[in-house]
Amino acid sequence: MAAALVMARAPVAGACKTRLEPLLGPEGCARLQAVLIDVAMAWAAEAVGPGRVLLALDGAAGWGHTPACVAQPAGSLGERITAGVTEAFARFGGPLLVIGTDMPRLGRAHAAAALADMDAGADASFGPALDGGYYLLALREPRAELLALAPQDWGGPTVLAKTLRIAAELELDIGLLRTERDLDTPVDAAAFLADPLTPVAVRAALEP
């Protein structure tokens, strides 16, 4: 039975969605982040069931959320995701769907495709993002080696490419979902505002 891990920054002004501050200001970015967490948690609960979702929060641990919420440890993004994956597998087993909060247009089809890859024997499945990262990672079992990029390699346009290179070296079977846009910049915000599939609450939070 599948489970889900949501990796998120706490909705603290000045510490989240900072690239959108020219559009929304620090407080507006914090409000948007709170909405994005709610959307991600709702998607995860629908995808795997409400009792099989773990929220790993960077800052303000325990911020008003059930089900389970744990604090992200210090370290690189890879180390923090690895810690969350380890905890989620220990609690729920797998397969595991791992998401952030930057792609609020996740739907049933994304979960179904990733879990279909797991059922077909894939070791992992990625949802590629337009910026070169990935918006979803599905794992059949913990694979810390897939997240072992150097700290400086996280956040750039080659995150997914370098991760897939590691997967190839390990001879892992990898699935790929359709490419989607992350919500990071004012240009992204304009695209999401123009997209009729963007959730109403996200659209409202994106209005300057």
Q: What distance in Å separates the CA atoms of residue 102 and residue 123, rounded to the nearest whole number?
A: 24
- Predicted pLDDT at 61: 53
pLDDT band at 131 (very low <50, low <70, confident <90, very high): very high
pLDDT for 208: 75
Per-residue pLDDT tens digits for 30-53: 999 999 999 999 999 999 998 999
Identify the CATH number of the domain in which residue 195 sits. 3.90.550.10
The pTM assigned to this predicted structure is 0.95
Q: Show the CA angle centred on residue 31, arms to residues 42 and 67, nearest 5°.
A: 30
Rounded to 5 degrees, what are φ and ψ at 54?
A: -115, 130
CB contact set of 116 (below 8 Å; sequence gap of 6+): none
Number of folded domains in the chain? 1
Residue 3 has pLDDT above 80, yes or no: yes
| pLDDT, tens digit (0-9, with 9 covering 90-100), for 65-114 | 555 889 899 999 999 999 999 999 999 999 999 999 999 999 999 999 99
Give the type of residue at 197: L
The model's pLDDT over 175-207, given as tens digits with 9 standing for 90+, comes to 999 999 999 999 999 999 999 999 999 999 998
Task: Find the mean pLDDT for residues 157-166.
Answer: 96
Q: Assess contact for 145 and 170: CB atoms under 8 A.
A: yes
Of 105, 85, 62, give the one whose Cα is nearest residue 6.
85
Looking at the DSSP assignment, which residues form a beta bridge with residue 144? none
What integer pLDDT is reported at residue 62 of this predicted model?
54
Pick from 28, 75, 38: nearest CA to 186? 28
Output the pLDDT for position 156.
Answer: 84
Q: Residue 154 phi/psi, 5° resolution?
A: -80, 140
Angle between helices 186-194 and 21-48 (to 10 degrees): 60
Domain residues for the domain of 41 are 3-206
Q: pLDDT band at 60, cuts 50/70/90?
A: low
Hey, which bits of the chain come out as E strands? 3-9, 53-58, 68-71, 96-99, 124-128, 134-139, 174-176
